[in-house]
């Protein structure tokens, strides 16, 4: 079989963030090939309505289907929250979002049954993580919180800055008070801020130092958990790539390919050779 005949894993996101999901997938499935679409022209999705996120997501899937994909990963938490069910009803191709894997990870990790979840406004107000967790365990108390500034801070490269730490501390204050032992990073960008978030959650100021200490908060990376589920699913369905020849990936965006190429390396953890422009309104 020629390389170009092999079906790839399609991944879409509102922009560059979904590369954190692609990165985790490639870490555990290094021979898989991906087709990535980042909707950079219409990013961010976080503050948008369900109707618009659904419309955009539908076009993104249509584009990926034109690229010979065998499976689609909705890497964007906002799209997963607002559009995954809608998409699954409309397309035959198997699809996976990032909410369920993250929720499952939290259910498995929590001991005191107090879980925090942070994400964009769209993800948090949809209640999707709460629903997904309660489907597995109704006893878990969930504290959802939107942290919209984290997206721009990450894209600005403000990863290890004092300002970011202060913002994280301010955002996460209410969660610290609730003595959660598990925190879901429910946004594509947040894995890059793991260090800052962990630190901000650690500071035990005004915090009782007895049982269920805040020092022990487990961060759940939805990207990591999704990659594990992708692997499991492809194995089960016998959809894994058979060849161990060097994989070739393709990256597409709806605007500013050069910006994506530069920024994307930080999210993917490796160089992106080429990024192609797509007129997403055609799909
Ligand atoms: N990709 C989005 C998410 O995971 C974050 C960026 C955006 O708001 O579009 O929810």
State residue 244's pLDDT score: 82
State residue 88's pLDDT score: 98
For the segment 215-267, what is each residue's pLDDT rounded down to a tens digit?
Answer: 679 999 999 999 999 999 999 999 999 988 899 999 999 999 999 999 999 99
**Residue 232 backbone dihedrals phi, psi, to 5 degrees:** -60, -45
Parent domain of 17:
3-98+224-282
Q: What separation in Å is there between the alpha carbon of 208 and the centre of ligand 1?
A: 34
- Ligand 1 lined by 46 (C-beta under 6 Å): yes
Q: Are residues 162 and 262 part of one domain?
A: no
For the segment 112-135, what is each residue's pLDDT rounded down to a tens digit?
Answer: 999 999 999 999 999 999 999 999
Q: Domain boundary residue among 206, 221, 236? A: 221
Q: Which residue out of 60, 155, 187 has the highest number of ligand 1 atoms within 8 Å of its CB and is therefore the one to mutate?
A: 187
Q: Are residues 230 and 92 part of one domain?
A: yes
Distance of alpha carbon 147 from alpha carbon 111, whole angstroms? 25
State residue 202's pLDDT score: 86
Q: Are residues 262 and 179 part of one domain?
A: no
State residue 6's pLDDT score: 85
State residue 1's pLDDT score: 57
Distance of alpha carbon 159 from alpha carbon 155, whole angstroms? 9
Cβ atoms of 17 and 76 closer than 8 Å: yes
- The segments of the chain whose pLDDT lies below 50 read 205-214
CATH of the domain at 267: 3.40.50.1860
State residue 215's pLDDT score: 60
- Ligand 1 lined by 38 (C-beta under 6 Å): no
State residue 5's pLDDT score: 62
Q: What separation in Å is there between the alpha carbon of 119 and the centre of ligand 1?
A: 8
State residue 203's pLDDT score: 55
Q: Are residues 131 and 203 part of one domain?
A: yes
Cβ atoms of 192 and 264 closer than 8 Å: no
Q: Are residues 228 and 94 part of one domain?
A: yes
Q: Are residues 109 and 89 part of one domain?
A: no
State residue 216's pLDDT score: 72
Distance of alpha carbon 59 from alpha carbon 46, whole angstroms? 17
- Of all protein residues, whose CA lies closest to atom 8 belonging to ligand 1? 46
Q: Are residues 108 and 193 part of one domain?
A: yes
Q: Are residues 117 and 206 part of one domain?
A: yes
- Of all protein residues, whose CA lies closest to atom 2 belonging to ligand 1? 76
Q: What separation in Å is there between the alpha carbon of 47 and the centre of ligand 1?
A: 9
Number of domains in the chain: 2
User: Atom of ligand 1 at shortest distance to CA of 78?
Assistant: 10
Q: Are residues 229 and 93 part of one domain?
A: yes
């Amino acid at each position: 079989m020629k390389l170009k005949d092999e079906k790839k894993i399609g991944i879409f996101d509102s922009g560059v963030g979904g590369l954190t999901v692609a990165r985790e997938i490639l870490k555990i499935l290094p021979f898989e090939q991906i087709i990535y679409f980042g909707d950079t022209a219409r990013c961010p999705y976080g503050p948008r309505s369900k109707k618009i996120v659904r419309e955009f997501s539908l076009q993104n899937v249509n584009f990926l289907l034109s690229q010979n994909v065998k499976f689609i990963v909705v890497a964007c938490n906002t799209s997963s929250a607002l559009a995954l069910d809608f998409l699954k009803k409309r397309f035959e191709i198997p699809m996976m979002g990032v909410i369920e894997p993250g929720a499952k990870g939290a259910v498995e990790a929590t001991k005191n049954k107090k879980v925090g979840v942070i994400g964009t406004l769209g993800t948090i107000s949809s209640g999707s993580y709460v629903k997904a967790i309660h489907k597995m365990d109704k006893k878990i108390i969930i504290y959802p919180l939107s942290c919209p500034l984290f997206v721009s801070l990450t894209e600005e490269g403000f990863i290890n800055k004092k300002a970011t730490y202060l913002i994280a501390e301010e955002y996460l204050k209410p969660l610290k008070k609730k003595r959660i032992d598990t925190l879901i990073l429910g946004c594509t960008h947040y894995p890059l801020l793991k260090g800052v978030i962990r630190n901000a959650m650690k500071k035990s100021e005004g915090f009782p130092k007895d049982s269920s200490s805040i020092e022990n908060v487990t961060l759940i990376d939805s990207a990591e958990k999704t990659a594990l589920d992708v692997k499991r699913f492809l194995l089960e369905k016998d959809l894994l790539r058979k060849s161990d020849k060097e994989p070739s990936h393709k990256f597409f965006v709806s605007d500013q390919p050069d910006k994506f190429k530069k920024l994307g390396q930080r999210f993917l953890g490796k160089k992106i050779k080429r990024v192609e422009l797509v007129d997403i309104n055609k799909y």
